[in-house]
Amino acid sequence: MAQCVALTKDKTPCQISAPEGKKFCHIHSRQRWWRRFFSLAAIGGILGFIASVTGILSYVGINLPQPLTPLAFPTASSNQTLIIVANFEDRSEGRYIGIDPAQYIYEQLWSQIQKDKLDIRVERLRLEVDNNSAESTGEAYGASLVIWGWYDAITITPRIERIIAQTEQISIEEGQHLSIASPERLEFSVITDLPSQVTYLTLFTIGLDRFTRENYDEAISYFESALSTIQPDANLSTNPSESYFFLGNIYVLKGDHDKALPNYDKTIELRSNFDLAYYNRGVVHGDMGNYNHAIADYDQAIRFTPDFYSAYINRGLAYYSIGNYANALADYDKAIQLNPNRAVAYINKGQLFHIQGYHDKSLIEFNKAIKLEPDNAIAYFNRGTWYADSKDYKRAIADFNKAIELEPKFIKAVFNRGTVYANMGNFDRAVADFDRTIELGPTNALAYFQRAIAYASKGNFDKAITDLDKAIEFKPDYAEAYQVRGRAYTDKGNFDQAFSDFAQAIKIDPEYYQAYFWRGIAYYYIEDFENALADYDMAIQLNSNDPNAYANRGNIYRAKGNYDLAIADLNQAITMNPVHAEAYLNRAIAYEKKGDKEKAIEDYRMVLKLTGDPNLVEQAKDGLKRLGAK
């Protein structure tokens, strides 16, 4: 769905990937190579149901046991489903003559429940309820559904109030994405005899109850059974759009978007002005990456409901995903205008500002979100990622801790906290967080990859290679994992395996700069200078902005005795990075080999000014000693 936000500094290249359906941002810097790979994961009512029934036929009621107390009955237990059928209001002014519709619906429900041996209790409430009292009545009895309504001389209108409903779902992503919605009131119209209509109503009601209880497989069975009662050649005007709609919702919740789409298509075919059907179909298209289709559906939802807050949020995120930042900002601002007290629009604005480089504005929006909703884990996660990107690691850890406290299974927050610990050099805590990430997502290739980097940083190359094996198992085209495993094999001295991995990384991505860069180092180690030079030529062709590539090629030229070419490359590296101690050291050696003592001494002394690295300092002092200088 939402795309990963690249939270990198201007000069830091960022690669977006989506392992296991999660989108993360890989951040590469030019520190010590094992620490270079730690990255941040960048920053989803009541249901009314109206039926018009005409052409009422009389019937013979079946004998059923009646409640012992017609006006009151026991409330539902904590694990029990209760459906209440209340009296229907007589609006006929005495002109209606026929059956008691509430009693008939009750009897049909009771009969179907007994037939199917369902764990549902249905009770007859011999009182009338209305818009103002249906919900509170259902809550008082602990019911999941309340059926009520009215009738006049020719029409019966049942309505279902859904007391226990799923809360609005919000994805845990860098930009909040509101998920599928259920309508506050769902209307359908039929013209036929009451028994035929109530058969559909009964099966639909039970399906709705099963949906509410998250028993999705049973719900599918009842909705499909309800649809099967609608014969295409019958003289009916029943509109079964609501069954298709809830089937679509179920398939979304089950993660089967391919089955959800045709059900929403059918819903819209039957009811072309159904705002929530367009909205939910837009959610599915967005999750599938079909952002233009999603935008078109959100347009329709907003056309029919101009104050549709969630549609503006999701359309803004779809615009964001295709790089239309102006329209995205306009939609987020409209959402804030509609409801300034919800955090989601501020979070998404913060992400939008961040990707545009307006970092101060971004932080302001995240702070607004947290002030409005202090228990919003996603707001803390995004602000924590902002702090991490700004290298304010202490505040980043605090925000990730809060996000995890609020949502203990918030996998991205755990992952990012591990990344921050790794960047702080606390590899034990980093490994612990990556362990937890893998526990929450056992097939998460990126988590194995990052834990491998942490192990390698501790010098445990065997464990690093084992984790990289798993990363490649779960993501066979993971070029970066092959490249890093090649580096681990290089450090172990297993050059054949290293070259094999580098070759595979380049096969997957022929323009993968770092694969050439590190293979060049492996060739240098075995003194295959020609192949090393060829790889660095390619690396510089692919990325001419990396001083390390020039420094390394210069060092290879120096090893070959081509001191002038070496000095030219090292000059370029120093021009690009005036504090590049290794480049000064290698240039000093090249000058010394050429016999230019003064320049060599100057460069050796510069090394001592720039670094406290024991290895570099020792080499610089040895050079000065050889040249008789201090």
The span from the CA of 172 to the CA of 382, in Å, is: 10
Calculated CA dihedral for residues 398, 401, 407, 408, nearest 10 degrees: 180
Reported residue count of the chain is 630
Residues 261-275 have pLDDT tens digits of 999 999 999 889 999
Q: What would the mean pLDDT of 451-471 be, rounded to a whole number?
A: 97
Question: HSE on the CB side for 191, CA within 13 Å?
Answer: 4
Its pTM surpasses 0.85: no
Sign for the pseudo-dihedral over CA of 32, 33, 35, 41: positive
The answer to whether the beta carbons of residues 537 and 569 sit under 8 Å apart is: no
Residue 64 pLDDT class (50, 70, 90 cuts): very low
The vertex-219 CA angle with 246 and 144, nearest 5°, equals 85
| Half-sphere exposure (Cβ direction) of 345: Cα atoms closer than 13 Å | 22
User: Residue 25, SS3?
Assistant: strand
Contact between residue 578 and residue 601 where contact means Cβ atoms under 8 Å apart: no
CB-CB contact of 186 with 211 (8 Å)? no
Task: Give the DSSP letter of residue 32.
Answer: S
Residue 148's pLDDT is 87
Which residues touch 362 (CB under 8 Å, ≥6 apart)? 350, 351, 353, 354, 386
Question: Hey, what are 528's tokens?
Answer: 């295959």
Chain centroid, CA 295 distance in Å: 18
Query: pLDDT grade, residue 65 (50/70/90)?
Result: very low
Residue that has been written with the tokens 């995890």 in this structure: 404
What's the rounded Cα separation, in Å, for the pair 220 and 244?
A: 10
Quick check: 314 and 282 in contact, CB under 8 A? yes
If DSSP codes are grouped into helix, strand and coil, which group holds residue 315?
Answer: helix
Separation CA 620–CA 305 (nearest Å): 73
Contacts of 67 (CB under 8 A, 6+ apart): 73, 123, 124
C-alpha distance from residue 396 to each of 67, 424, 430 (Å): 60, 11, 14
Beta-ladder partners of 256: none
With contact defined as beta carbons under 8 Å apart, do 370 and 378 qualify? no
Of the chain, the percentage scoring pLDDT greater than 70 comes to 82
Question: Alpha-carbon distance 260 to 265, whole Å?
Answer: 9
CA distance 86 to 404: 45
Tens-digit pLDDT profile for residues 140-195 = 898 888 988 888 777 778 888 887 654 444 444 445 556 667 655 454 443 345 66
